[in-house]
Structure 1
Amino acid sequence: METTGNMTQTAEKQLILLPLNDYLEGRPVKDIERLRRAFHPEALIRMVVDGKLAQWTVPQYLDAVEKAALMECQTEILSYTWDGDTASALVQLIFPTFKFIDRFNLVKLEGKWLIMDKISYRQVL
């Protein structure tokens, strides 16, 4: 893992955690503005559904989240790493009957980390 400029690794970690926590804390409670803040406006969200690739833009994804049922959820960052201005993260959201395992790619633009894409796996529990 690298640092950029004079920034320490600890400070960079905190900056990377901002969008991850916005996602993990915003998704279970359907906080659309917090989710919007986590994603780059041109990010894509992908998932295999019934054996086919499904893909959403951020507005489409936020609309789907808004319509989803509100359920209890446990979240966890499983891992993350970065090199320069790119990062990746693995997180999970555990709902009562299923869980999502999400893989993110992030970019750092103008000092701010944003989720550039998300690919998810949904597992029935």
Structure 2
Amino acid sequence: MTKPVYVKEYNEIVKVLNQYNEGGKQADSSIMKPAFSKEATIYGVDGDDKLTGGPIQGLFDTIDSAFRPSPKAQGVIVNIDIVGTAASARIDTNDISGFCFTDFFNLLKVDGKWTVISKIYHTHVAP
């Protein structure tokens, strides 16, 4: 059995993930918002090792209120794994408003369009 090749799907997912990267770089949630389902969630672990997060609107509110444009910000899509209408992806970013993150995304293809359903993240100590 040969492994399926999802070139078209991969390219569509890259476009979605690039909306997230660009929104972070410009500190503008309106750029990244179309990448996410309205029901999406975001979770991470805070400085006290406690679970933090909830509805994706929390990410948008933080981007718009606490972040600033970061022209030197860099983000790279580390991997994308696709099976049918489900996918997962990892993005590493540096200098997003002075922070470095590793983000893991779960995506589904709904009504012919890839959308982020959930995001979990790790905040790195900035260099």
TM range (shorter): 0.7 to 0.9
Q: Offset of 1:2 from its aligned partner?
A: 3.8
Give the aligned partner of residue 21 of structure 1.
18
Deviation readout 1:54-97 (Å, 9 max, x if unpaired): 01312222011101231341111011111011000010110175
> 1:6 — aligned with what?
none
Matched, 1:33 2:34: no
RMSD: 1.6
Bigger drift between 25-34 and 113-122 goes to 25-34
SS in 2 for 1:89: strand
- Give unmatched runs, 5+ long, in structure 1: 4-8
Structure 1 SS opposite 2:120: strand
Aligned length: 120
Picking from 57, 66, 69, the partner of 1:68 is 66
More deviation, 9-18/21-30: 9-18
- What is aligned with 1:78? 78
Give 1:113 shift: 0.4
- Residue deviations 1:98-123 (CA, integer Å, cap 9, x gap): 31000000010011001110000001
CA contact (8 A) 1:46 1:56 kept: yes
Contact 1:36–1:58, Cα closer than 8 Å, also in 2? no
C-alpha separation between the residues in 2 aligned to 1:84 and 1:28?
A: 30
TM-score (norm: length of structure 2): 0.86
Unaligned runs of 5+ in 2: none
Structure 1 residue ranges (4+ consecutive) displaced by more than 4 angstroms after TM superposition: none
Contact 1:2 1:84 in 2 (8 A): no
Aligned AA (2:11): Q
Q: Is the 8 A contact 1:39 1:114 kept in 2?
A: yes
Amino acid in structure 2 at the alignment position of 1:112: K
Q: Which residue in 2 is equivalent to 1:105?
A: 106
